[in-house]
Chain A
Amino acid sequence: MEITDREFEEKVLSSEKPVLLEYWASWCPPCHTIKKVLKKLDEEDIGYSIVTVNVDRNLGYASKYQVKGVPCFMIFKQGELVHREVGAKSEKQIRAMLTDHL
């Protein structure tokens, strides 16, 4: 689900479920290719809420969390950033990352 900074507090920081957040940019080809994988994961019951944020259109939290490279994957639990990884990932790698931090 695509969100903006205005929804960040509610959808990420106050989420009951753990959150997989992906920062992306329109000029980043890997960000576009990863969309399908995230959509597929979102449709499964994997125990995470999955959100995506366009880094150029939402600079507030991106600055706060010092997002440099995209795609930037972050895992939040109870409002805390517990893990981040930068760069394209295969579906297998994303699943492994999620399992490791559930």
Chain B
Amino acid sequence: MIQHNEEKTCWNCPAALLKGNVDFRACGQSIAAIRDKISEEGLLVECARRPDLGMFEPSITFEQCPEWRETQFGYLLRDMRVMILGIDGYLGWTLALKLARLGCRVSGIDNYLRRKAVAEKGSMSVVPIADMETRLRTAKERLGVEIDFRELDLLNRDELEGYLREVQPEAVVHYGEIPSAPYSMVDAEHAIKTQHNNTLGTLGVLFLVKEICPEANILKLGTMGEYGTPLTGRPIFEGLFPADAVLTWRGQEWSMGGELTPRDPASFYHVSKVQDTFNVYEACKYWWLRSYDVMQGVIFGVHTEEVSEHPDLRTRLDVDEWFGTVINRFVAQAVLGIPLTVYGSGEQIRGYLALEDAMECMVRLLSSPPEPGQYDVVNQLSQLHKVKDLAEIVARVGSQRHGLTVRIQRVENPRVEADEHPFLVVAKKLRENLGYQPKTTLEVEIDKMFTLLLQPGVRGRLESVKGTVFPKTWWSGEHKETMTLEVYEPGNHAAAGYSPELVVTEHNGDD
């Protein structure tokens, strides 16, 4: 079997230590000054796992190297030390179990900020989740895996430094951020808290990685929301312009290849993620750190093989207006008999990805680290949908498979965003370079969510938080009720406006 990463070499491997053997310079900066420091042989590395090999050219392939072993997701560094920042969250916990089961040595920190913020809203995870102690014990008993955990605030750099030195991670997955646009738009306090935690937390992590484990593969979670939805309909590339994107001005042409594409964030939360993007980009440039900036679509779903193994291994599911993502909220509303709340026209197009597919993408990214100093961006999504079409799909699955009566309501849009816009998204790298193929369909995952949320225990919890689902946070800062504009039966709104366009291979969409 041909693996997507078999031709990668030590050059991509976090165990290959550059030993400060590099010259940090920008394009256009002379290399003359460092000629004395480095032999004309060029750059050599030492293997952290095999120091007996001495210094050598970084040219052993993953396929040849005994430290990399074959898995269903490509070659994976044996016992890879992965630290997950934000390991208690919706994605963090799910990924921890997947990686641990794949043989990685998983560690993680969390300060339970997500649990506290959801509680602040008067809500909770509608799927009951165990405390961390129980989670870790159950993971050991049921899956036979040991996960190391520290209760730790990302902003506590002294303690984080100690933990990083102890673990010496070969990969750092950075999920340790407040992931909510509406939360950041509540008031000044929430906006500042979001930007402080996200931006300064990330900046601190970058400095620590540089000091302690500069070869580590940093998987930084960004969001498709960083790009915005340009009304020109220009393509949303994967963070960096391709070589053939050309700027034309006064009859002259310049290649934009490799330059960062424009960002147009949609909330103060999204601004924090854009700032992160620039900080990670710069850190890679200044210090030869390596990172995938993962521009993730909206995640939906509750299922992976590991979390479904036992109730105490379940990951959280939020349905409140702050932390509940749209499909998750729709399913909750359908179960509760509340018409599904579509904001504005419902013509907003967004990218989506099932939880299980998102986890596979992260594993694949961990299996194929960028080169030293390489900042790379992937658009991590499997499909594009209009919000009102999602409501139709949830309504259909709810009524046909679970006998529910589901209606849809259009409400005033409390956000400042384009209701109707074209959306042409490029998401090729995960498929072309990393061997990913989407596996989970929207209908199948929504069906699994209904099955879980209709369980009596979960249903009862849903009832107790039903008041937190309807949107109340206005981007305008006004404190007012959001009015319902229309309530309608599914199937009664004809297709209108723009059609989403997703480019996933070299040639689709070229014409």
Chain B neighbourhood of A88, CB < 8 A: 243, 255-259
From residue 155 to 212 of chain B, which have CB atoms closer than 8 A to chain A?
none
Q: A26-B370, A66-B32 are in contact. List 15 more A-B contacts (CB 8 A).
A: A5-B41, A26-B288, A27-B374, A29-B259, A32-B376, A33-B240, A33-B243, A36-B242, A36-B243, A56-B22, A57-B43, A62-B31, A63-B40, A88-B243, A90-B255
A6 to B6, alpha carbons, bound, how many Å? 24
B253 adjacent to A93 (CB under 8 Å): yes
Q: Is A37 positioned at the interface, with any CB of B under 8 Å from its CB?
A: yes
Is A19 an interface residue when CB atoms closer than 8 A count as contact? no
Q: Are B240 and A29 in contact (CB under 8 A)?
A: yes
Complex Cα spacing A67 to B7, Å: 28
Complex contacts, B241 vs chain A, CB 8 Å: 33
Contact A29 B258 (CB under 8 A): yes
Complex CA gap A91/B245 in Å reads 10
Among A31, A56, A62, A88, the one with the most B-chain Cβ atoms within 10 Å of its Cβ is A56
Taking a contact as CB atoms under 8 Å apart, the answer to whether A56 and B43 are in contact is yes
Contact in complex: B257, A33 (CB < 8 Å): yes
A-B contact pairs, 25 of them (CB 8 A): A26-B11, A26-B372, A30-B255, A30-B257, A30-B258, A30-B259, A31-B258, A32-B258, A33-B257, A33-B258, A34-B257, A36-B242, A37-B243, A37-B244, A57-B42, A57-B58, A58-B42, A68-B29, A68-B30, A69-B27, A88-B255, A88-B256, A90-B245, A92-B244, A93-B253
Nearest Cβ on chain B to A100's Cβ, whole angstroms: 15
A interface residues, Cβ below 8 angstroms from B:
4-5, 25-34, 36-37, 54-60, 62-63, 66-70, 86-93
Asked if B445 is at the interface of the complex by the 8 Å CB criterion, the answer is: no
Taking a contact as CB atoms under 8 Å apart, the answer to whether B35 and A59 are in contact is yes
> Please, which residue of chain A has its CB at the minimum distance from the CB of B376?
A32
Please tell me which one of the listed residues A26, A33, A63 contacts residue B31 in the complex, with CB atoms under 8 A apart: A63
What's the nearest-Cβ distance from chain B to residue A58, in Å?
5
Chain B residues with CB under 8 A of A34: 243, 257-258
Q: Which residues of B are at the interface with A, using a C-beta cutoff of 8 A?
A: 11, 22-23, 27-32, 35, 38-43, 57-58, 240-246, 253, 255-259, 284-285, 288, 370-376
State which of A63, A90, A91 has its C-beta within 8 Å of the C-beta of B35.
A63
Docked Cα-Cα span, A85 to B30, in Å, equals: 16
Q: How many A-B residue pairs have CB under 8 A?
A: 111
Per the bound structure, the CA–CA distance linking A90 and B497 in Å amounts to: 34
Contact of B373 with A27 in the complex, beta carbons under 8 Å: yes
Flag if B31 contacts A59 (CB, 8 Å). yes
Inter-subunit contact B27/A59 (CB<8 Å):
no
In order of increasing CB-CB distance, the 6 nearest A-B pairs are: A27-B373, A30-B258, A26-B371, A29-B258, A88-B257, A57-B42
Cα–Cα, bound, A87→B371 (Å): 20
Give A56 to B400 CA distance when docked, in angstroms: 61
CB distance from B158 to the nearest CB of A (A): 30
Residue of A nearest to B258 (CB): A30
A89: contacting residue among B38, B243, B372, CB under 8 A: B243
B259 contacts A26, C-beta separation under 8 Å: no
Check A27 against B31 for contact (C-beta < 8 Å): no
B31 near A57 with CB under 8 A, answer no
* Chain B residues, CB < 8 A from A54: 42
Max chain B CB contacts within 10 Å: which of A26, A30, A69, A92? A26
Min distance, Cβ B508 to any Cβ of chain A, angstroms: 16
Q: Which residues of B contact A37 (CB under 8 A)?
A: 243-244
Complex CA distance for A21 and B391, rounded to whole angstroms: 54
Q: Which of B23, B35, B246, B370 contacts A56 (CB 8 A)?
A: B23
Q: Is the CB of A90 within 8 A of B253?
A: yes
